[in-house]
Structure 1
Amino acid sequence: MKELTREYAARMREYLQSEFPINAGDIQFSIPPNRRYGDLSTTLPFLLAKRMKQKPIEIGKRLVSLLSAKFLPMAEVSLAGGGFLNFTLDRHCFLRYLIDSVDCRPAARNQRIVVEHTSINPNKAAHIGHLRNACLGDTLARSLEYLGYPLEVQNYIDDTGIQVADVVWGLLHMIKMSLEEIRRIKDPAAMLWDVYARVNRHLAADPESEKARNRVHQAIEERRDPEYGVADWISSRVLEDHIRVMASIGIRYNLLVRERDIMELDFFTRAARILTEQGILYESEDPEKQGCRVIRYRHEDLEKVVIRSNGTATYIAKDLAYTFWKVGRFKEDFPFREFSRYADGQVILTTDFRGGSEKRDFGPAHRVFNVIDVRQSYLQNIIAQVLEDLEPAPSGERPFVHFSYEMVALTPRCVRELDLPLSPEDEKKPWVEVSGRKGIAVKAADLIQQLTARSRVEVDKRNPDLSESARDAIAVQIAVGALRYFMIKFNARAVIAFDFKDALAFEGDTGPYLQYTLVRLNSILRKLDEGEQAVMDVDIDPACLDSREAADFFEILLQLSDGDNRIETALENQDLSGIANHAFTLCQAFNRYYHGYPVINEPDRSLRFLRIQLLLLVRERLGRLLAIMGIPVPERM
């Protein structure tokens, strides 16, 4: 539809610019909420009326008169509501337009985009909240790539932070393990899950222990052993686990950027020089911040410490340096080396200050998306302000986007099913906050395993004739679809309460429902003979449909045509639930249509061929949407 409306807008401007002061971009189309007003609508008469100081209705009448002859037979032009210019599309022309453009994709763009997502502290196994970040980030990246943007997916690894220091201190000083013993740990990510919880309980009970933990943190930052060696080994092994878990649900990265490399290569000193020269970074005059170098955050009129009085960098200092590298604010680059490979051979690169043989041209980014939860909004807003101060963006552009999201909770039912502790008070709540300190937490790998096991039960019921390996594969695909859809179908700024039953339902607003619809579509189309599957080349006028079917048929065509616009709108609003909702409503519309109008058993050739054409169009668009959401399509369900 985007290409069609662009064509309509270009034609209108060509026809009208000799009589009306029309600028490029003035003509914008929307789909009316009520179809009796047409299929497309524009408020152009209101805009021109304001510009020409005339009544919208008079402008509208002139526009209808001028355009009606020009747009037939493609569309009928009418006026409604005192100045809304409406277009009712010719059904036959519109169907052929969709068929002819079925393989078209948005044009390639030359604006490189960097999406940073996941970015888990490499100190323990990933948890359910990290899955929401990764699913949102991956769907964002897939959407941008589909829209034609050159894309890099990066994962920031905070391997020198306080959370890594917590577990290093726990291993060396609480459990009293040597580096050799630590290296023999079989599943570091899982073991450190428990160590981290134990350390936090200890620190809460004995605040004096924080001094010892802080000394460990300082030793890691200064690369002193054994602390640094333990931190390096732990972070690398845990990172491998994170990559494996995310790969199991179809999430991949191009580059892992390690914080230690930012520190070792002294990127922040370069960034600080730029900030100081521009007057953005300065020494505070606040007695409580004596000796600290700060940035003033204008939105809240306060100073944020960037460099402490002892010369050490805060978290935002490292993040600023990383962001400057992303957008090409300085020429220095990282050395890169191979970290690992995916099963199909795709290489994951990592930064490494010690040197690397890989030559890659990462960045500079025209636009950066950071997928980070809402608790980091304050720091992310400061970074956005700094970039704007250094180089104001053209009106309407945002070169730095904090793609924020809320936390993931669990329903009380889910907490019970996971055999986690549940207080009487929590039992009465609609959702229970995940808390490692309270013992209410679930590893990402365990959640995926549980989903797969529950999916397998359903697969066994429905497909007892399939082999064990085939049922295993289908169960994994259903589990991945259920998880990924659940994580993006809600508004990103809303807390979501995960529930196994809700996520895995085969009916309703779920991933398995979408998968089932496409599996069903494929099954229907497989029953057609070869000639019927090539029906897209047959030109059939939808006028042969009765009025009821014509309305249902064309409603689905309009939904199909609106797909790319829905994706772009979801990105503009930073709310990927719009993509999920579009896929769900399309599935509902198709299933209602198929229940009402037979395909295989329809004796009338024209009706059967029209319905097959619609099924083929739905399959192509729905398959595209599921791919963007990272939802696999099983052979059977």
Structure 2
Amino acid sequence: MTFLNIINHLKENTSKIISEKGYDNVDFVVEYSRSGFGDITCNVAFLLAKNLKKNPQEIAQEFAGEYNLGNDLEKVEAHKSGYLNFFIDNNSFNNEVLPQSLKENYGSVNIGKNSKLIVEHTSVNPNKALHIGHLRNVAIGDAVSRILSKANYDVKVLNYVDDSGLQVADIIVGFKYGGFSESPPTGEKFADYCGDTVYVSTTSKYENDKDLESKRHEILKELEDPTSDTAKFGKTLTRKILSDQLGTVWNFGASYDCLNFESEILYSKLWEKIFERMKSENLVRLEDQGDNAGCWVLPIENEDDKIIVRSNGAATYVAKDIPYAAWKLGALTDPFNYAEYTTQPNGRTLYETTLEETQVPKQSFDANKVITVIDNRQANLQKIVTNLMSKFNPESSYVHLGYEAVTLSAETAKILGNKTDGKDVQMSGRKGLYINADGIIAKLEKHIFLESKKRNDDLDDVLLNEIAHNVAIGTIRYELIKPDLGKIITFDINTSLKLEGDTCSYIQYSCVRAARILEKFGKEPNFDTQFDQLNTEYEISLIKQIGLFEVFVNDAAKNHSPKIIAKYCYDLAVTFSSFYEHVNVLKADMPELINARLCLVLSFKLTLEKALALLGIIAPQRM
């Protein structure tokens, strides 16, 4: 029985005791505890103290004698602070957890009950290559998708491609009127060329060239007509850029189920359909006086009304996200057909929406719960969309999973040729001020390849390149996932190339250490044994940390927080390092003890690999 099973059992037991005593129900917590306060703790006594007019410790003592400890618990204590502290029976726990950890689905929880759930992430404008800020979105969205799949949700992952917006119009202006070749210089990716050269140069001219800026608006209008030459040219450009973007994402270890094109949403008239529904359900109103006369507005509680359609009939930026959100929640009849875009490197089929006839069977990419990963600069817009979706379907759940941006350190900005007077700086595609995702991955891979070659002169370049790739991707993912979502990350190119400290490489290396121990022994340990002899503090701590995996998966899934899994991976690696330093595995006194310790090492390795996989990180066998 793992920690989560024991915690859930104690919750049920505590509720039963409250009921039997006739006490009022309280929202108590049972959770694993910090060192020195048992293994599991409960705060029920504090919550009952006020109504019962008793000291919390007195209530805790009263409850302590009521629990049926069974085989899982050794004892329960009423701490002087008033907490109920439960102590696990280590022998029973060892013999339960270690064999369970061998199972492929170890750590899985059943929150979702196989219900459908949509995660939308990445959604980068198809006018440029991805930068390190975009990778934070990908890392968060991909990890959340993996965690929710582990929690038994039927997860589908979408990538929204805004192929008819201003930034696409900008590169069309550059190619049509800026004199840029449609082929990039030799050796440069098309997405890099469009973003770094065409887009930056074109947008810099608007302020002084109003005629060029008027061309931009003409092109934007022409993109709304799928039969126009401009729309066809735009489709060619954006498809080439998207191909490069997807290459970066696949190299980063992420994938999708469907690409949703803004142009297809526009041509499908989804906006007109959802707007009519909004009017029929009185969710919007037509203003007949004041500054907003002639406009359709969306009333927002405790806030100013939001203009959805201007008096000239043009839908605003706010309106643009509404039909797509409604489609994801199934609030609109799906007008799309589907085509197979490609088979991704991991074998997963990637579909795309289309209005053309296809031979592909109708797909389903709607759900009752939707998570949209977009940075916090979009928070106000997403709040409006979330509020509106709750009115379309009160039983549904539309979640904006926001995060803060990635800024550049002053030193990194300087390396890129920008003076910031010693201050960190916000990345800007318009100014060409960003860290290219492909570039930072390549630099890390080169650095790690050379370091690994020094330590592993027996490995060939193919294996060294594999190690370098896995460690590089892991390093970036971990650095982008481990901070709070609400914390701005200051990216420093020099710091990111270090392999010491609280880094992914430290965690990965603990897995390598475990692999080397098992490799030296030369055969699989036998789990058909008893693990009572694993009784040192280091062995007990490691087994308990392994047993906590489900607890952390459960918390991460409920809170949509990959950081929780990152912390678990680090804590597990630290606990193993302490075990590694103090416990001699292969030179133990008895063969039975050697086998038991090898079982523990393998259990650790498999559990850490599963936990890292939830973050999209691979644990190499050598480093």
- 1:364 aligns with 366
Question: Residue by residue, what CA displacement relative to the aligned partner does 1:296-348 show, whole Å, maximum 9, x if unpaired?
Answer: 2324x212222222323233323111111111112233111011121354221
> Which structure 2 residues correspond to residues 17-56 of structure 1 after superposition, within 5 A?
17-21=19-23, 28-33=29-34, 35-49=35-49, 55-56=55-56
* Helix, strand or coil at the partner of 2:619: coil
Shift of 1:89: 1.0
Q: Which stretch of structure 1 is more off in the superposition, 9-18 or 556-565?
A: 9-18
> Which structure 2 residues correspond to residues 115-130 of structure 1 after superposition, within 5 A?
115-130=119-134
In 2, Cα distance between the equivalents of 1:559 and 1:206?
A: 63
Change (3 A) 1:562 1:538: same
Match for residue 421 of structure 1 among 414, 417, 420: 417
Q: Which stretch of structure 1 is more off in the superposition, 3-12 or 192-201?
A: 3-12
In 1, Cα distance between the equivalents of 2:24 and 2:339?
A: 54
Shift of 1:116: 0.2
Change (3 A) 1:504 1:420: closer
In 2, Cα distance between the equivalents of 1:486 and 1:286?
A: 52
Determine if the alignment matches structure 1 residue 613 to structure 2 residue 599. Answer: yes
- 1:536 aligns with 527
- 1:596 aligns with 582
Shift of 1:17: 4.2
> Which structure 2 residues correspond to residues 35-434 of structure 1 after superposition, within 5 A?
35-49=35-49, 55-67=55-67, 70-71=69-70, 74-81=73-80, 83-102=82-101, 103=103, 104=106, 105-107=108-110, 109-175=113-179, 187-193=189-195, 194-223=197-226, 225-285=228-288, 287-299=290-302, 301-393=303-395, 399-415=397-413, 419-423=415-419, 425-426=420-421, 428-429=422-423, 431-434=424-427
* Helix, strand or coil at the partner of 1:288: coil
Question: Residue by residue, what CA displacement relative to the aligned partner does 1:528-564 show, whole Å, maximum 9, x if unpaired?
Answer: 243xx3332211324x74xxx32x3333333222223
Q: Is the 8 A contact 1:16 1:22 kept in 2?
A: yes
Q: Is the 8 A contact 1:503 1:511 kept in 2?
A: no
Q: Is the 8 A contact 1:325 1:333 kept in 2?
A: no
* Helix, strand or coil at the partner of 1:349: strand
Shift of 1:223: 3.1
* Helix, strand or coil at the partner of 2:516: helix
Shift of 1:590: 0.9
Q: Which amino acid aligns with 1:308?
A: R
Shift of 1:412: 3.7
Q: TM-score under structure 2 normalisation? A: 0.92
Determine if the alignment matches structure 1 residue 491 to structure 2 residue 498. Answer: no
Change (3 A) 1:627 1:79: same
* Helix, strand or coil at the partner of 1:37: coil
Q: Is the 8 A contact 1:492 1:576 kept in 2?
A: no
Q: Which stretch of structure 1 is more off in the superposition, 435-444 or 14-23?
A: 14-23
Determine if the alignment matches structure 1 residue 469 to structure 2 residue 462. Answer: yes
* Helix, strand or coil at the partner of 1:383: helix
Q: Is the 8 A contact 1:127 1:442 kept in 2?
A: yes
Q: Is the 8 A contact 1:263 1:318 kept in 2?
A: no
Change (3 A) 1:438 1:499: same
In 2, Cα distance between the equivalents of 1:434 and 1:197?
A: 13
Question: Residue by residue, what CA displacement relative to the aligned partner does 1:102-158 show, whole Å, maximum 9, x if unpaired?
Answer: 224323613211000000111121222111111111011111111111000000011
Q: Is the 8 A contact 1:124 1:190 kept in 2?
A: yes
Change (3 A) 1:607 1:122: same
Shift of 1:492: 1.7
Q: Which stretch of structure 1 is more off in the superposition, 140-149 or 301-310?
A: 301-310
Match for residue 503 of structure 1 among 496, 501, 504: 496
- Larger RCO, structures 1/2 (Cα 8 Å, 6+ apart): 2
Determine if the alignment matches structure 1 residue 522 to structure 2 residue 515. Answer: yes
Q: Which stretch of structure 1 is more off in the superposition, 99-108 or 472-481?
A: 99-108
In 2, Cα distance between the equivalents of 1:344 and 1:404?
A: 27
Change (3 A) 1:123 1:22: same
Q: Which amino acid aligns with 2:230?
A: E
Q: Is the 8 A contact 2:402 2:485 kept in 1?
A: yes
Q: Which amino acid aligns with 2:145?
A: A
Question: Residue by residue, what CA displacement relative to the aligned partner does 1:55-82 show, whole Å, maximum 9, x if unpaired?
Answer: 5444333222222x64467230111245
In 1, Cα distance between the equivalents of 2:24 and 2:595?
A: 43
Q: Is the 8 A contact 2:121 2:373 kept in 1?
A: yes
Q: Which amino acid aligns with 1:283?
A: L
Task: Tell me the number of residue pairs that the alignment of Structure 1 and Structure 2 aligns.
Answer: 614
In 1, Cα distance between the equivalents of 2:299 and 2:210?
A: 32
Runs of at least 5 residues in structure 1 that lack an aligned partner in the other structure: none
Shift of 1:592: 1.9
Change (3 A) 1:580 1:127: same
Shift of 1:581: 1.8
Q: Which amino acid aligns with 2:91?
A: H
Question: Residue by residue, what CA displacement relative to the aligned partner does 1:361-405 show, whole Å, maximum 9, x if unpaired?
Answer: 424312111110111001000011112233435xxxx81111111
In 2, Cα distance between the equivalents of 1:22 and 1:8?
A: 18
Q: Which amino acid aligns with 1:442?
A: I
Q: Is the 8 A contact 1:540 1:606 kept in 2?
A: no
Q: Which stretch of structure 1 is more off in the superposition, 378-387 or 123-132?
A: 123-132
Q: Is the 8 A contact 1:183 1:233 kept in 2?
A: no
Q: TM-score under structure 1 normalisation? A: 0.90
Runs of at least 5 residues in structure 2 that lack an aligned partner in the other structure: none
Percent of matched pairs sharing the same residue: 28
Question: Residue by residue, what CA displacement relative to the aligned partner does 1:193-252 show, whole Å, maximum 9, x if unpaired?
Answer: 110000111113334532221111001113353311111111111111111110011110
Q: Which stretch of structure 1 is more off in the superposition, 258-267 or 183-192?
A: 183-192
In 1, Cα distance between the equivalents of 2:547 and 2:621?
A: 27
* Helix, strand or coil at the partner of 1:204: coil
Q: Which amino acid aligns with 2:417?
A: P
Change (3 A) 1:378 1:450: same
Determine if the alignment matches structure 1 residue 450 to structure 2 residue 443. Answer: yes
Shift of 1:279: 1.5
In 2, Cα distance between the equivalents of 1:255 and 1:554?
A: 45
In 1, Cα distance between the equivalents of 2:498 and 2:390?
A: 46
* Helix, strand or coil at the partner of 1:319: helix
Q: Which stretch of structure 1 is more off in the superposition, 222-231 or 473-482?
A: 222-231
In 1, Cα distance between the equivalents of 2:72 and 2:358?
A: 63
